[in-house]
A = this chain, B = another copy of it.
């Protein structure tokens, strides 16, 4: 076992002991055992506009053993804590899936009538996962810090030397392959870096292309891929590159609501998991594309504004100049764009709110289909002039575009024209 792991184990064991000593003290004092922890609910989630961060609010919940409504949850929490403790002292590396199995069993007891009854500790993994989240919040540690492992998709290459486990690894010497980020990225030590920025690419295949082309060497970038929806380790790794190495982070995704959402997960996190976002999100990550204006320019949105005067609270005046040219010619656009699916449109409404869809969607049939989403007001960080414009163009055209379409204009175009001009020209969304 590596020395960093030994240290991490000691830390986690210390926090567990300290935090659960409370229960012991309560019992010794003859009090009812109660766990007090921040409430992990939407109503207790605050978007800190200034720091662009999701935070847990001040509400707490009390989980008591002597309360029929809470006894089960109380016991689950203690069961999970003890399983994690056991794993830590036994030099284990559990996954959330096997923690579920480790704790899964039936407890037999006699009810008030003396009849034998069996109750399961938990039935489904979502129950045990929820308890792990409670513990993360209660102890203010991430599960990774308790050496709970998980599958990990993120990869990285670039002029960066790290120390992981007992090895020193030069991420510029990976050949045509790449370095798979470890599931416990807080244990990585950054030894040496020679880079100007971090480029995070949604798609693994595009990462492979840029890597092979030598993009990161030429432009002194750290090249990362999340291979789709980013997992926790990739998000934490990117956050640390930004926070500790002071490298700006640019995110490159498909031009569709799912791509925009992936960017949002890197930048802000998930609204229902705000506690983890405090550590995993990169609030100043920038979206460099592919944007709808890269595909369509500003013409589409200008026309909408001429008709409706105001979208999402923004007018011609509050939006400033609109004179961006697209990166694609008329015929390229015709060949490359893909028709949006219903789920794309619905995801877009979730991001920016129903009112923007209502203003920008042309078809009254589609609009009536979206009525069920009428209550949605969108995420605050998508209610900005830039994103309202982006999503309005999406609603108007009902088109999307993949990064691969940009690469099909030639990898040189993607690597030497599109990405550098977006970054150097400051043509990103913050």
Q: A152-194 vs B: 1/0 string, CB under 8 Å?
A: 1101000000111111110001111111111110011000000
User: Which residues in chain A, 193-243, are within 8 Å of chain B measured between CB atoms?
Assistant: 203-206, 208-209, 212-214, 227
Q: Is there contact, CB below 8 Å, between A177 and B180?
A: yes
Given A2-B176, A155-B180, A169-B174, A335 and B92 contact (CB-CB distance below 8 Å) = no
Q: Is there contact, CB below 8 Å, between B183 and A174?
A: no
Q: Is there contact, CB below 8 Å, between A204 and B408?
A: no
The residues of B that contact A68 with a CB separation of less than 8 Å are: none
> Cβ of A104 < 8 Å from any Cβ of B?
yes
Q: Is there contact, CB below 8 Å, between A182 and B177?
A: yes
Identical chains bound together, number: 2
> Cβ of A90 < 8 Å from any Cβ of B?
yes
Q: A98-114 vs B: 1/0 string, CB under 8 Å?
A: 11111011100000000
> Cβ of A411 < 8 Å from any Cβ of B?
yes
A side interface size, CB within 8 A: 67
Q: State how many angstroms separate the Cβ of A278 from the closest Cβ of chain B.
A: 24
Q: Is there contact, CB below 8 Å, between B175 and A404?
A: no
> Cβ of A410 < 8 Å from any Cβ of B?
yes
The residues of B that contact A165 with a CB separation of less than 8 Å are: 175-176
The residues of B that contact A214 with a CB separation of less than 8 Å are: 1
What CA separation (Å) do A268 and B209 show in the bound complex? 29
> Cβ of A377 < 8 Å from any Cβ of B?
no
* Minimal Cβ-Cβ distance residue in B for A210: B93
- Which of B92, B153, B179, B213 meets A179, CB within 8 Å? B179
What CA separation (Å) do A97 and B101 show in the bound complex? 40
What CA separation (Å) do A214 and B2 show in the bound complex? 10
A interface list, Cβ under 8 A from B? 1-2, 5, 90, 92-95, 97-102, 104-106, 147, 149-153, 155, 162-169, 173-184, 187-188, 203-206, 208-209, 212-214, 227, 331, 335-336, 402, 404-405, 407-408, 410-412
The 3 closest A-B pairs by CB, nearest first: A164-B175, A101-B408, A151-B204
